[in-house]
Amino acid sequence: MEKRFKLHLTDMAHGGDALGRYEGKVIFVPYAIPGEEALVEIVEDKGSYARAQLIEILSPSPHRVAPPCPHFGPGKCGGCQWQHIAYQAQLEFKAAVVRDQLARIGHLPDVSVKWTIPSASPWHYRNHVQFAVSDDGQLGFVATNGRRVETIEVCYLLHPFLEELFAALDLELPGLVRLSLRAGVNTGDQIMIFETHDDEPPVLESDLPVSCVLLLSDGTPVNLIGNNYITEVVAGRRFRISATSFFQVNTAAAEELVRVVSEYVAPTGDETLLDAYCGVGTFALSLADKVGYVIGIEEDAGAVAHARLNAAELADAEFIEGSVEAFLPQLDRRIDLAVLDPPRQGCKPEALTALIELAPRRIVYVSCDPATLARDARRLADGGYQLVEVQPVDMFPQTYHIESVALFGRW
């Protein structure tokens, strides 16, 4: 096969690259767009497929736009992959990728995948960011090649509260390994989380109302200034979120997730709801007043502690610290409705087997990876569940990452 050739791009692949076919082989090309004709050059031949770099766009897509960020592009920051694609087209590609993964991996070709719900803002939405540190002590993000840190001056994905913190930073911390910034966009809470060599606490001075925490190598958060948590309001409920707990990075999109999950769960008032991988209780507590009883399961001890605090006024809610796959087989309570929000790796087979045995009438699966959603959807289908429809929600504009909500039922 030639190393450099013209290629017609036909589809968008899971992972953010456009793809085309040349001499019977699939070629993946980052920063290209389906519909384009491009000059490309092979950089990695894997036998059954190859990866190529974009040399020249010969016929640009009408969806191609000028990326605003100076750090975007080949060899630069690896945080965004799609700034060169108009936002409406990003939404279309995300739904198409979900549809493709369900068909190819889950062997579920006829599932209804709805139009992607857009983010309230395609820019300035991130309430949580984690900076790496370059060899010369500057903040940045891991580059596209994964081998260095791209020092940044600006990031167009940061929420204004985090832009404010980033602009105010004046750091001289030779032992700094990583720095995270988090904010409650509906409360104004802000927190900085430091990770250092040898767990040495930094010397800090701050005239901003921001909490500062040192995260030890064993995962223990140590207060330096203020609290080791922030608060956020979603769907009218206030949540306390520890420095290390998972919470959706796009608060407005999280509101949409809660709305869609509530619609799909369709509670009638007296059911028992299982919220597996519950974090600080976002879905469980948002639905608590619509069901009879809530059980949340979460492996992160800090998240469970905050979920219990968040549920302090509720008598009909309990949160269990442990893995879903370990706890579900022991559960001897009837489960009517279930919400799953697993990590990117999806659910372990043991968890799905136990859930199928519990036989809730509806399962709502919140996914941040369409490939593992498709795999787990196949397992649920084999266990007697019908995948009714999938609703993508754009949690991560300007990136290939896809959040979606899938409804399974036994009718």
Active centre residues (catalytic): 368
- Whole-Å CA distances, 8 to 19, 74, 88, 352: 8, 20, 22, 41
With contact defined as beta carbons under 8 Å apart, do 252 and 119 qualify?
A: yes
**Closest-CA residue to 279 (of 123, 130, 118, 128):** 128
For 60, list phi and psi in degrees, rounded to 5: -75, 150
For the record, the structure tokens of 92 come out as 């279309």
| Spatial separation of the C-alpha atoms in residues 14 and 369, rounded to whole Å | 9
DSSP designation for 271: -
- First-to-final CA distance of the chain: 52
Residue 112, classed as helix, strand or coil, is strand
- Whole-Å CA distances, 83 to 63, 92, 100, 123, 214: 11, 15, 22, 10, 33
Q: What pairing do the DSSP bridges indicate for beta strands 317-321 and 112-113?
A: unpaired
Q: How far is CA 32 from the centre of its chain?
A: 23
Which helix H or strand E contains 351, and what residues bound it? helix 349-358
Q: What pairing do the DSSP bridges indicate for beta strands 221-225 and 211-215?
A: antiparallel
| Spatial separation of the C-alpha atoms in residues 241 and 184, rounded to whole Å | 9
DSSP designation for 77: B
* Cross-strand partners of 42: 52
| Spatial separation of the C-alpha atoms in residues 180 and 80, rounded to whole Å | 18
Q: How far is CA 366 from the centre of its chain?
A: 10
**Closest-CA residue to 71 (of 179, 168, 143):** 143
With contact defined as beta carbons under 8 Å apart, do 303 and 246 qualify?
A: yes
Instruction: Count other C-beta atoms under 10 Å from residue 87's C-beta.
Output: 17
Radius of gyration over every alpha carbon of the chain, rounded to an integer in angstroms: 22
